[in-house]
Amino acid sequence: MWKPPERIKHEPPAARWPSRQEAEGSLLFQPLRIGGLELAERTGVPAMVPWRATEEGFVTEEILAWYERFAAGQPGAIVVEATGIRDVPSGPLLRIGHDRFVPGLTELVETVRRASGGRTRLLIQVIDFLTIRRRPEPRRFFERYLEITDRHRRAVGSTSDDEVRAALAAMDDAELDEVLDERELESLRYGYRERVGDLHLPHVRELPEVLPDLFAAAAGRAAEAGFDGVELHYAHAYTMASFLSALNDRDDGYGGSREGRVRLPLEVFARVREVVGDDYPVGCRFLSEDCVEGGSTVEDAAWFAVRFAAAGMDFLSLSRGGKFEDARQPKIGWAAYPYTGPSGYECMPTVVSDERGPFGRNLEPTARIRRAVRRAGYDTPVVVAGGICSFDQAEEALATGGADVVAAARQSLADPDWFRKMRLGRGAEVRRCVYTNYCEGLDQKHKQVTCQLWDRLDLDEEGVALSSDGRRRLTAPRWDAATSSNPDGAARPAAVAERT
């Protein structure tokens, strides 16, 4: 992953943990209504992809155990990982593009309800992807993938496509820079990637006709499976975020201006609402900033947020960055990963950072967006996430009007019980994330995601499920509030797996 050139190493913010009485009176542990749904508290675990589904996208025992472990910590809400709305292969990622996925998803809902004692609400994030391919071996690219045109023939001086391919394959980088266009060079050096502006491709041109029904059908299945709500994935490097981005140059009314860029996201939401009804909670996750040159800004996001609130969305969840445009060049045989460049760093910053540091980088832009929504007269709840790992951070965000719900991914992965520990006055027992992005490194390689603070602990414990390589446990050790520490919450060192 890219790191800022300053390379300043930061320590996690000092933690002052509340007593049980203070926690009970805090904003963080007060209930909140989101549309027709009430959260028991204003805490959440946002969507994370753990790479545990089958290759066909079905729920597995490992998926059930992953979400069961988070549910045991009883957060106000959990959002299930980005789940594909199309009935097409997508590797070990969950899918909801056909009715055959509903039974497994229903079991997932029941698992979370049981593990949380009915306290945690479960939503599912639904997503669409455009095509992206692995970076090819150069000779294979020229032999099989490059579409030969008259421009290539003139550059080489031959009318034989075989001769043109052979000549191009023999060129060095400087020569190829003169012969290939920008997209051809990208396909060679990074792998082919579709854009929402590729209107010459019929299936891309027809996205506004196709996506509303696909998202709506997925939301209908989510409701059928028993999920408490749906989060439309309008963030990062994927289809809907690309429509919202200022880089969207479609000239068919679905790009260019803010009004054009927000058109399809609003049409998707309207169709979803038709299917699930007014009482079923539906919101979206989108970006406070694209964090790439020419991309959408916080001013754009504030404008979009007001439009989403006006349309009747039940919540707005903010992330940032994570784009393909500045991703690092992948190795041959690997696909580009949108969290390897500067925008990816903004999404998941590490302790090696710039002067601002990695903690709470999304708080200020989210607060600006929430203020815009309130000034427009809407009380739509706003969810903030990004480097939040202490009670005071979370409480301040709520107390200052910066957000209505605080979500934490990496800290919740480090300690799935951390919200519950705080609520019980047991914060001294929280296992704190060290923000090295060990977990993100596993995600980048499509390996089962775990945390370095616990994945080597008690591997011989009875019933512990291990990773496919047999070297890591797949879920954090259980925390028993009755036996893990003194009833008064006296400090107890958190176990940390040592690395050699």
Query: How high is the pLDDT of residue 364?
Result: 98
Tell me the two tokens of residue 318: 């903010």
Query: How high is the pLDDT of residue 496?
Result: 39
Contact 439/476 with Cβ under 8 angstroms? no
Tell me the two tokens of residue 334: 């690997």
DSSP string of 22-70? HHHHSSTTS-EEETTEEESSSEEE-----S-S-TT----HHHHHHHHHH
How many angstroms separate the Cα of 483 from the Cα of each of 70, 417, 470, 480, 496?
Answer: 19, 14, 29, 6, 19
* Exposure b/e, 13-52, CB count within 10 A at least 16 = b: beeebbeeeebeebbbbeebebbebebbbbbbbbbbbbbb
**For the whole model, what pTM was predicted?**
0.95
N residues, the chain: 500
- Which DSSP letter does residue 160 get? -
Task: Return per-residue pLDDT of the chain as tens, 500 residues.
Answer: 899 999 999 999 889 999 999 999 999 999 999 999 999 999 999 999 999 999 999 999 999 999 999 999 999 999 999 999 999 988 899 999 999 999 999 999 999 999 999 999 999 999 999 999 999 999 999 999 999 999 999 999 999 999 999 999 999 999 999 999 999 999 999 999 999 999 999 999 999 999 999 999 999 999 999 999 999 999 999 999 999 999 999 999 999 999 999 999 999 999 999 999 999 999 999 999 999 999 999 999 999 999 999 999 999 999 999 999 999 999 999 999 999 999 999 999 999 999 999 999 999 999 999 999 999 999 999 999 999 999 999 999 999 999 999 999 999 999 999 999 999 999 999 999 999 999 999 999 999 999 999 999 999 999 999 999 999 999 999 999 998 764 433 334 344 333 32
Bridge partners, 287 (sequence order)? 319
167: which residues sit within 8 A by CB, 6+ positions away? Answer: 156, 158
Backbone angles phi, psi at 388, to 5 degrees: -100, 120
Burial class (CB in 10 A: 0-12, 13-18, 19+), 125: buried
Q: Which residue type occupies 72?
A: A
Determine the Cα–Cα distance for residues 117 and 46; give it in Å rounded to an integer: 20
Determine the Cα–Cα distance for residues 123 and 315; give it in Å rounded to an integer: 12
Query: How high is the pLDDT of residue 485?
Result: 62
CA atoms within 13 A on the CB side of 203: 6
The pairing of beta strand 8-9 with beta strand 316-319: unpaired
